[in-house]
Structure 1
Amino acid sequence: MSGAEDLDAVVLHHVVNTLGWPGLRPLQEAAVQPLLAGDDALLLAPTAGGKTEAAVFPLLTRMTEHGWTGTAVLYVCPLKALLNNLLPRLETYTAWVGRSAALWHGDVGATGRKKILTGRPDVLLTTPESLEAMLVSANVDHRAFFAGLRTIVVDEVHAFAGDDRGWHLLAVLERLQRLVGRPLQRVGLSATVGNPEALLEWLQGSGVGSRPGRVVAPHLFDGQAPTAAHGPPPGDIQLDYVGSVGNAATVIAALHRGEKRLVFCESRRLVEELGEKLRTKGVTTFLSHASLSVDERRRAEEAFADARDCVIVSTSTLELGIDVGDLDRVIQIDAPATVASFLQRLGRTGRRADTVRNCLFLALDEAGLLAAAAMLHQWSQGWVEPVVPPPEPRHIVAQQILALCLQEHQVGDRLWKEWWAGFGHFGQSAEPIVRHLLDEGYLDRDGDMLFIGPEAERRFGHRHFMNLTAVFTAAPEFTVLNGLAEIGKTDPTLLTEEVSGPRRLLLAGRSWQVTYVDWKRRRCFVEPVDGGGRAKWGGVGLSFTSYALTRAAREVVLGADPQVRFTGRATSCLAEARERFAQYVHPDRTLIVRHSDGDVRWWTWAGHRANATLTATLASLADPAQRPNACWVRLSPDLTPQMWKQATADAGQRLCLPAVHEQALKGLKFSTALPQRLAEATLAARLADLDGAAALLGGQVRFVGQSTAE
């Protein structure tokens, strides 16, 4: 078995005789040498590409050869469900060499945790939040427990790196590294991304430049993602236009009967509405989204895995590598936010030798059709988004300083920086944050030592500081119960809005009538009814269309066709969209159009963040009250070409960050632990796209007279 001869003989025996594999996959072969050498690595492969085994087999070999003791490997995942799914496999693999694996996350009870603390499994599967909780818990001797730690495996690392959970994870890993007193090998597992080298460097943290690291991706062309020169990626992709949720349900019910279908929606409300309509058409339907109870999701996923002629409707909760059995089809309602998400979803199909990867897109309206066509245009060019960590994570710095003081009880006022080895924003630049934490009572001081202050106790001390271990602010929701059975959670506004007649909710694909609301305990009791329920969830997060995908939509309007199959309905709808938007696009410049209602709009096709940056930069010309829009910026109705020329002469060199409303800061957890100006600067940097704005300001613009179409 080429490339595997250096694996432990027992591991190799079981690969051949227990798993029945004729050989290792290319990624698994290529990963053996760098991981055995102790190098940091980023292992890239499409979904179901064998990444877990590519990491675990060499690490079990090292564990055996070097006699590692105690908990030597941490296997970190973004989702508890993914960890639950992985545990049986890792228990099997570790047992081959007389080792053990165990699971620690928020759903593991006190008995299970006590067993782990006394037994110390060789491989511990966990989440960043649970790692943080272990470090700050009075019930865990973290120095003793992590004394044998050698390697961290981060599964779905791209899912971490793109948001604040990634900064939190890296900061926790730096603290662990200092705790054990040795460099920790870091191994990231990821689907294809647009910037693998940068993602590896991000994962290495303070070890960049001092530790060897390697991107292992034999499926890529010369280590890079495929491009248009290689032709479209393989897959049976079709784009259809259906016009409504009801029509989508009709199409799904009629097509692919007898097959197992996974349908992705971009909101929980849409999952519920589509799920209900499919059930009324007699389709065996299961649902999965974050506001369903753990038991409800687990029952649905297990039933779906065992069934055949059925559909499961899901948000991105099933996008990652959770096993829901052997899928026949993936169906996408409208479009996912990124090409990377689409690749994850596409990779759920085509795992049998006689099948190909496939996805059917069902657009609910013209906007959904354009978004899908734009995303598929980028995909067919071989383009994948670079994973870019959110800038200026000052609020995570504040959280980490407080967490460190909980972990160590007290920290020297000049020594706290050493816990992050000068990594990124956690070094000298964090001094103003520490001063603010002291001034506001989040930290207290005794001589040269810092410790948790009364304000941190008041804001975050509930339930042993559990609120300090999670970096996201969750919108308040009410728990929905049918008797003693928890169904899930719902937005409280559904319980307070005026209604005529009985109040009904839509949850788990079924309608429920509210019988009693316990306002104090945030509980809602319901009974099943035949129909009429509504689904709704609020949220504090912001989802913006990117510069690249909005520009791709412009290319589609200008005539570019993604290299996928179109139905007649999709072709007709796209032709109508192109005709409607034709007056707002130009091949080599942007247009400033005076519309029939008097509006003057600059059709930038630049995405929400770039347009928000342009609005702030062109303050004298742009309407400051406008909401961010992906395609255009509203300008002064009195605008003339001369005014435009004067205002934009040097605007590309004096770009401004978007204004931040105080209400928006509530979505930035721990922002209250920052000075107001730093909290606003953090959010403003995340709402901006300076490169996109500069590109638009540097391009040519044409003024167009009054338009008659809207």
Structure 2
Amino acid sequence: MSGDPLELLDPILVHHVVNSLGWRSLRPLQQEAIEPVLAGQDAVLLAPTAGGKTEAAVFPLLTRAQRQGWKGTGILYVTPLKALLNNLHPRLETYTGWVGRTAELWHGDVASTRRRRILAHRPDVLLTTPESLEAMLVSTHVDHRAFFSGLHSVVVDEVHAFAGDDRGWHLLAVLERLQRVIERPVQRIGLSATVGNPRELLDWLQGSGRGRRPGRVVAPGVSLPDTGAGGAPSSPPPGDVELDYVGSVANAATVIAALHKGEKRLVFCESRRTVEELGEQLRLRGVTTFLSHASLSADERRRAEEAFAEARDCVIVSTSTLELGIDVGDLDRVIQLDAPATVASFLQRLGRTGRRPGTRRNCLFLALDDSGFLSAAALLLAWSRGWVEPVVPPPDPRHLVAQQVLALCLQEHRVGENLWQEWWGGLNPFGTAAEPVVRHLVEEGWLDRDGGVLFVGPEAERRYGHRHFMNLTASFTAPPEFTVLSGRTEIGRTDPDLLTEEVEGPRKLLLAGRSWLVTYIDWKRRRCFVEPVDDGGRARWSGFGAVRIQSYALSRAARDVLLGADPPVRLTRRAEARLAAAREAHLDAVHPAGTVVVRGGDGDVRWWTWAGHRANATLAASLPSVTLPHRRVEDRFIRLRDDLTAQSWRAAVTDARSGLTLPEVDVRAVRGLKFAEALPPRLAGATLAARLADEDGARAVLAEQVRFVLRHDG
């Protein structure tokens, strides 16, 4: 191997890296990735935000394309967000242009004329999403066998964002079908920020090729754990982090308006409603403010991102939409209201700062209430210990098995009833365990069977046939929303409840950080028309509240904070006072040796498990004789019956230890599982129940000692 890794790359690329980019050398990740990527190995490339992951994958892949004479579309570059694709496209156009190759975008916003050009002149690199990729496979306008015949490699950007939800299973299934179409394995390269289990993430990404294709985790300078329990380096990543308690959105706006004047600030909120409320409050205080969240129109988000990239003294308020690698220019500060759901999300957000020489990564936490404050303190404590969540794919994706079998029949028109499993190469969810799902699809008319072959049936035509089966290619669902228009300009989308609930006086919405008067509602087309108004608008979206601590690990970190462990960050005087008050308020609720059952003065009995939402849901279902039925599951405690006795407690725990019960599933929640209607009700419920459970966390709690506090005056 050459002493200088640059010499392994195509010489024309090297020339431009040195002269066009002005790089004297490659970053460590880029150096170490060259050998395995050039060798055709699968890989996960791990580095913090702005760590040069795109170049680490693309430079050696373009070198392979040049040396091996790849023709047609040889590289797919897949991301979870269209906005990220749009942001990456100019960069990849530049890199491919250096070596006489091309890069093109293909997603739902790309015009049909441009798509026709792409089909006629296949680009060397195609940037797309998994949904658009599957749409190409099932489209009658795309000869997918010809188009993908030159495919050799797939780059999956932000692979951890895929692997943790159903879009990951969808991506893997589509890649397996692609491999069968072109009749050869495809190199898979995942780009990821810090995760707790990178080796397991690589195994997942390899799909059916796990163990058959060589793979490597490339993570220079990152401590890799030996198990999937989360990383444990000796010290947290460097950063300037501060925790404050402000008590309300209005107070948060006052603090943000007063601090860091002249700087560019990015504020993350945990709900779209909070984004809207903070945006309005900041504008009332004269702060130049832009907003970004999923219910704003694409034009509105794009305008905000472009203006923010060019402005200086301003604030952009966002949900997680700007957490991933979209470039928002030269950022000075990150501010977080309450806490993100995971340490991994915090690392992504922290990594948006400190990119200029002489600057440090920084984040200011502003807690809006007591629960948000404890969540933030717990997350910062876990971060300080070097802990990061393992990425765990959702179990039992039976609904996606149904979707994939239907999509395959749409793609191939007819599939042998004994051959459909071969399309996924033994990928676990699509093997023999999928047979009951396929039987149900046939019995209920989703699939027809004739002469030993399967094809799309009348029920699938009825449910998904509209607009060329477009709804069949999306692996996630969203609640229905009304499009909000001011004249002909789309502002975004709002929850229909805001348009139907009784109100006194004019009906006003809060959207894009401004108040709007509703002037007309088109119920048939799900549209409402508005005009600007000074104030009084309201924002709400069903099912999308602020996310509090849910995992076992972060809930236990909250308990550690209450037991005296301080997150090693700067605390304001307000935060110090709030921390002291929280510890005083929870004196009877925490114990270092186990859990606590507290009977309050009002007879309310709570079992303080500090085990997280899923473990508590599992425990509540597994101890039905002592828990209160039909109560909302909390992250930190479980409500028990007020007639609890020592004898009934011991009997319930003994029964639970002999076998746990999965949480009861609300039928409304099952309806929110995309494609659940194509499953037998029993399997749909079992799928969701498995995802609501944390059996390991529940068992850990049951193995601990329990302390009983008979009276609590707090």
TM superposition score category, shorter chain reference: over 0.9
Structure 1: tracts of 5 or more residues without a match? none
Letter in structure 2 aligned against 1:204:
Q
Superposition map of 1:598-637 within 5 A: 598-637=603-642
Amino acid at match of 2:468: H
1:677 to 678, 682, 707: 682
8 Å contact kept, 1:4–1:29: yes
Please list the CA deviations of residues 517-556 of structure 1 after superposition, one character each: whole Å capped at 9, or x if unmatched.
0000001000001100000111389956111111110110
Q: Sort the Cα spacing of 1:540 and 1:657 in 2 relative to 1 into closer, same or farther, 3 A.
A: farther
- Which residue of 1 is the match for residue 172 of structure 2? 170
CA distance in 1, matches of 2:186, 2:590: 52
Deviates more, 1:538-547 or 1:190-199: 538-547
Task: Decide whether the 8 Å contact of 2:195 with 2:231 is kept in 1.
Answer: no
The alpha-carbon distance between structure 1 residues 367 and 226, as it changes in their structure 2 partners (threshold 3 A), is: closer
Q: Deviations 1:76-124 (Å, cap 9, x if unpaired)?
A: 0000000000000000000111100000000001001001000100000
Instruction: Report the secondary structure of 1:584's partner residue.
Output: coil
Q: Distance in 2 between matches of 1:578 and 1:111?
A: 63
- Contact 2:154–2:188 (Cα < 8 Å) also in 1: yes
Cα displacement (A) at 1:651: 2.0
In structure 2, the partner of 1:85 is 87
Q: What's 2:403 paired with?
A: 399
Q: Does 1:346 align with 2:350?
A: yes
Which deviates more from structure 2 when the two are superposed, residues 472-481 or residues 222-231?
222-231
Q: Counterpart amino acid of 1:116?
A: I
What is the TM-score normalised by the length of structure 1? Answer: 0.99
Secondary structure (helix, strand or coil) at the match of 2:133 reads: helix
**Which residue of the partner structure matches residue 565 of structure 1?**
570
Task: Report the Cα distance in structure 1 between the residues aligned to 2:231 and 2:545, rounded to whole angstroms.
Answer: 33
Partners of 2:196 and 2:231 within 8 A in 1 = no
1:116 counterpart residue number: 118
Counterpart of 1:415, as a letter, is L
Give, as a single letter, the amino acid of the residue that structure 1 aligns with 2:202: L
Q: 1:245-264: CA deviations, max 9, x gaps?
A: 11100000000000000000
Residue 393 of structure 2: aligned partner? 389
Residue-by-residue CA offset, 1:183-230 (whole Å, 9 max, x unaligned): 100000000100000000000000001000000000213677996663
Identity of aligned residues (%): 73
**Which residue of structure 1 lines up, in the alignment, with residue 262 of structure 2?**
258
Task: List, as ranges, runs of 4+ consecutive aligned residues in structure 1 with deviation greater than 4 Å.
Answer: 222-229, 540-544
Per-residue deviation, 1:175? 0.2
- Give the corresponding residue for 1:696: 701
What's the CA shift for 1:461? Answer: 1.0
Q: 1:652 aligns with which of 654, 657, 663?
A: 657
One of 263, 273, 276 as aligned partner of 1:272: 276
- For the residues of structure 2 that align with 1:445 and 1:375, how far apart are their CA atoms? 53
2:271–2:546 contact (8 Å) kept in structure 1? no
Partner amino acid for 2:529?
F
**How many angstroms does 1:232 deviate by?**
3.0
Pick aligned residue for 2:148 from 124, 146, 149 = 146
Confirm whether residue 219 of structure 1 aligns to residue 221 of structure 2.
yes
1:14 aligns with 2:16: yes
Do the aligned residues in 2 keep the contact of 1:391 with 1:682 (CA within 8 Å)?
A: yes
Instruction: Find the aligned partners of 2:198 and 2:25 in 1 and give their Cα distance.
Output: 26
Q: What is the alpha-carbon distance in structure 2 between the residues aligned to residue 162 and residue 222 of structure 1?
A: 19
**d(CA) in 2 for partners of 1:422 and 1:70?**
29
Quick check: 2:230–2:390 contact (8 Å CA) kept in 1?
A: no
Query: Aligned partners of 1:660, 1:358: CA distance in 2, in Å?
Result: 41
In structure 2, the residue matched to 1:205 is 207
Structure-2 residue corresponding to 1:324 = 328
SS at match of 2:588: helix
Decide whether the 8 Å contact of 1:227 with 1:381 is kept in 2.
no
Check the 8 A contact 2:413/2:455 in 1, yes or no.
Answer: yes
Q: How far apart are the structure 2 equivalents of 1:381 and 1:336? A: 17
Conserved 8 A contact 1:100-1:123: yes
Aligned-partner SS, 1:43: strand
Greater displacement, 156-165 / 589-598:
589-598
CA deviation after TM superposition for structure 1 residue 60, in Å: 0.3
Q: Which amino acid aligns with 2:594?
A: R
SS in structure 2 of the partner of residue 660 of structure 1 = coil
The equivalent of 2:250 in structure 1 is 246
Distance (whole Å) between structure 2 residues aligned to residue 488 and residue 28 of structure 1: 40
Does 1:550 pair with 2:552?
no
C-alpha distance 478-229 of structure 1, shift in aligned 2 (>3 A): closer
Matches within 5 A, 1:403-482: 403-482=407-486
How far 1:166 sits from its partner (Å)? 0.2
Does structure 2 retain, via aligned residues, the 8 Å contact 1:436–1:674? yes
Is the 1:540–1:667 Cα contact (8 Å) retained in structure 2?
no
Q: Secondary structure at the match of 1:231?
A: coil
What is the match of residue 517 of structure 2? 513
State the match for 1:66 in structure 2. 68
Task: Indicate if the aligned counterparts of 2:156 and 2:189 stay in contact, CA closer than 8 A.
Answer: yes
Maintained 8 Å contact 2:266/2:335: yes
- Mapped to 1, the partners of 2:413 and 2:478 lie a distance apart of 28
Shift of 1:233: 2.0
How big is the alpha-carbon RMSD for the aligned residues of Structure 1 and Structure 2?
Answer: 1.3
CA contact (8 A) 2:400 2:675 kept: yes
Q: Distance in 2 between matches of 1:600 and 1:122?
A: 64
Opposite residue 575 of structure 1, the aligned amino acid is A
For residues 219 and 466 of structure 1, the distance between their equivalents in structure 2, rounded to whole angstroms, comes to: 44
CA contact (8 A) 2:76 2:155 kept: yes
Separation in 1, partners of 2:231, 2:682: 43
Q: Deviations over 1:153-172 (max 9, x none)?
A: 00000000000000000000
Contact conserved, 1:481 with 1:524, CA < 8 A, in 2?
yes
Whole-angstrom distance in 1 between the partners of 2:658 and 2:114:
58
**Residue 691 of structure 2, aligned match among 671, 686, 693:** 686
**Aligned partner letter, 1:591:** V
Is contact 1:220-1:226 (8 Å) kept? no
* Equivalent residue number for residue 303 of structure 2: 299
Mapped to 2, the partners of 1:482 and 1:105 lie a distance apart of 27
1:41–1:200 Cα contact (<8 Å) kept: yes
Match of 2:158 among 145, 156, 159: 156
Could you say if the C-alpha distance between residues 531 and 542 of structure 1 is closer, same or farther in structure 2, counting changes exceeding 3 Å?
Answer: closer
Which deviations, in whole Å up to 9, do the C-alpha atoms of 1:466-507 show, x marking residues without a partner? 000111111000000000000000000111111111110000
Secondary structure at the counterpart of residue 182 of structure 1: coil
Amino acid at match of 1:687: L
- Aligned pairs for 1:519-558 (under 5 A) are 519-539=523-543, 545-558=550-563
Letter aligned with residue 123 of structure 2: P
Structure 2 unaligned regions, length at least 5: none
Query: Which residue type is aligned with residue 99 of structure 1?
Result: R
Write the distance in 2 (CA, Å) between the matches of 1:647 and 1:302.
Answer: 59
Distance 1:256 1:392 in 2: 47
Conserved? CA contact 2:106–2:128, under 8 Å:
yes
- Name the SS of the counterpart of 1:121 in structure 2: coil
- The one-letter code matched in structure 1 to 2:235 is G
**SS across alignment from 1:374:** helix
1:136 partnered with 2:141 = no
Aligned equivalents of 2:692 and 2:648: distance in 1? 27
The Cα shift of 1:636 comes to 1.8
Q: Which residue of 2 aligns with 1:47?
A: 49
- Aligned match of 1:126 in 97, 119, 128? 128
> By how many angstroms is 1:429 displaced?
1.1
User: TM-score when scaled to structure 2?
Assistant: 0.98
Mapped contact 1:474–1:539 kept (Cα < 8 A): no
Q: Distance in 2 between matches of 1:124 and 1:339?
A: 32
Any idea what SS the aligned residue of 1:326 has? coil
- With 186-195 and 531-540 compared, the bigger mean Cα shift is at 531-540
Aligned letter for 1:580? A
